[in-house]
Amino acid sequence: MIPPRHTRYASAWLLVSALVVGAGLVVLWRGTSSRPAVTHPRRLTAMVRSEPRGFNRLVSRDRTSVTLTHLLHGRLVRVNLETQDVEPALAESWTVSDDGRTWRLALRQDVRWSDGTPFTADDVRFTFEAVFDPRVKSPLAGALRFDGKPLGVAVEDDGRVVRIDFPVPYGPGLRVLDSVPILPRHKLGDALARGTLASAWPVTTAPADIVGLGPFVLKEYRPGDRVVLGRNPYFWKRDPAGRALPYLDELVILVVPDQNAEMLRLESGEADLMVAEVRPDDLAAVRDMAERERVRLVDLGVGLDPDFLWFNLAPSFARREPARAWIQLPAVRRALNTGVDRQALVSGVYFGAGVPVYGPVTPANRAWYDPDAVPPVAHDVEAARRLLEEAGFTDADGDGRYEAPGGGPARFALLTQKGNTLRERAAEILQDEAAKIGLGVDVVALEQPALIERITTGQFEAVYFGFQQSDTDPAVSLDFWLPSGAFHAWHASQNTPATPWEAEIDRLMLEMVAAPSAGERQRLFSDVQRIVAREVPALWFVAPRVYVATSPWVIGARPSVLQPMILWNAEGLDVRRD
């Protein structure tokens, strides 16, 4: 039986099926040629799978906090996640010097913060001071340092222009600024001066104190339940017809960790869209719902962010746990890379909705994917066992399970995210695959906050998890690629590269960032991928196909394979109510 909400609207929709082969995009879409009349209030309900860790993007880097940043805060420029073009935002135009190092951004005039305070160039300068303040320890700083030096920020032309000076030539240009939310000096300036900005805007902050330049404002936060956002009456942006954005009066974001409950809420009409992708487990059911006009289903193609497995390669771990130092041997990583059947993960985790991958860049990222640099690795259990034996692993009693060099069982703990069925299922399959080559794996599933804490403090042996990309250009992810970066997963925040191969990645990435031509940048990054294929600092197995779903009354959605998929353009979302 169709729920009452659907009964009212389903007959008004026309089902159109479109296949865009070149983009890998299949859309089940119900559209109309004009915007319908809507009764107020305009409200949509979205779902996220975890609570925000805070409202301060300078220190909070979980997926929900990043999503809220798109909704509450403005940026100087933004990357259009549909086209990958850099678009004006708080900066309405810009010029660049001949050497590509100095950019002058003309700020929009008469923009106001959500509390009505005028936005000025001092807010921009303050934001970058906060990002680079060592007391804040912002993970954003790593992506904004080049050759160890921060961006230079100055104010010109009586505050109408902000000058951005790159310390070295930077190929992607202003794209890197897409990740930087501009923060209010009048609200956070005192905290920065006191050295307490890192603890500002926790989840207990009064909603009125969270001030931004985004399309929405925080109205209410109920821990474990929901975040309620209201329309920012001072938002500067208008649609092509001159109407003020956002269209919505209210956006409710429910916290629904259980993915079965997530699907039930979508089907019943209790929620309108999922911020995350549809699980492979649910695809058959969602396709059926789409055929019955209960939802829209969009196939966005192969994803950009495959989960991966990495070991703790920090020297401090080996000193702290000398009996476990064997997990840092390259032979362990290479044996798993060879011994794990990737097709078993495609079938067992994603039910066929995925492709095997052998490195961090998936076929979806056409500009940077290089299968010659990271060739397929043949699945070969016997070859994997030989790699381990050559490294000193032994099977004294012939039971098929190795003892580590120096004695003791060759067994390690693999942390993953509790409640994420894909990661939990993948970890179990990896456990079985590792057993076939003689390695024992103890899967430990932790709630996401606890898992992030273990990762960031280095309290782990191995992890199966994933980080979301904000851009397809790898130069924007320097905090992952550079050894000094906070997201350099296997050994983060190194003062100097700990290994020769990491030093080579460091050099190549910095050259790639500065290279003037797209071809030279791609060549240098292919060399980086060759090092990753050789040294295997982490193991990538499968890139899933990405699907998103919304209720049939959501209009204006422009979904992207990049997070936050639908809410990246939330000011353009509207709701059909006829």
Cα 22 from chain centroid (whole Å): 24
Residue 577: its pLDDT value, please? Answer: 63
Q: For the chain, first and last CA: distance in Å?
A: 21
What does the angle CA 541 – CA 546 – CA 551 come to, to the nearest 5 degrees? Answer: 155
One-letter amino acid at 126 equals F
- Which region holds residue 398: left if phi is over 0, alpha if psi is between -120 and 50, else beta? left
| Distance (Å, whole) CA 260 – CA 279 | 10
- Give the count of alpha carbons within 13 A of 8, CB side only: 8
| Distance (Å, whole) CA 154 – CA 142 | 20
244 DSSP 8-state letter: B
What does the angle CA 55 – CA 58 – CA 61 come to, to the nearest 5 degrees? Answer: 70
Which class does domain 308-544 fall in? alpha beta
In terms of C-beta distances under 8 Å and separation of at least 24 residues, what long-range contacts does 502-505 make, across chains too? 502/537, 504/531, 505/481, 505/531, 505/532
| Distance (Å, whole) CA 439 – CA 451 | 23
Q: Are strands 308-311 and 440-446 parallel, antiparallel or unpaired?
A: unpaired
Cα 109 from chain centroid (whole Å): 32
| Distance (Å, whole) CA 569 – CA 49 | 20
**Residue ranges per domain, the chain?**
13-49+215-303+545-572, 74-197, 308-544
Specify whether the CB–CB gap between 541 and 345 falls below 8 A: yes
Which overall architecture, per CATH, does domain 74-197 show? Alpha-Beta Complex (3.90)
Residue 578: its pLDDT value, please? Answer: 62
Which overall architecture, per CATH, does domain 13-49+215-303+545-572 show? 3-Layer(aba) Sandwich (3.40)
- pLDDT tens, the chain, 578 aa long: 333 333 323 323 222 223 232 333 333 333 333 344 445 689 999 999 889 989 999 998 788 999 999 999 999 999 998 888 999 999 999 999 988 899 999 999 999 999 999 999 999 999 999 999 999 999 888 878 887 899 999 999 999 999 999 998 888 889 999 999 999 999 999 999 999 999 999 999 999 999 999 999 999 999 999 999 999 999 999 999 999 999 999 999 999 988 788 888 988 889 999 888 898 989 999 999 899 888 899 999 999 989 999 999 999 999 999 999 999 999 999 999 999 999 999 999 999 999 999 999 999 998 899 999 999 999 999 999 999 999 999 998 899 999 999 889 999 999 999 988 899 999 999 999 999 999 999 999 999 889 999 999 999 999 999 987 778 899 888 889 999 988 899 999 999 999 999 999 999 998 998 888 889 999 999 999 999 999 999 999 999 999 999 999 999 999 998 888 999 999 999 998 66
Residue 34: its pLDDT value, please? Answer: 38
What is the value of pTM for the model shown?
0.78
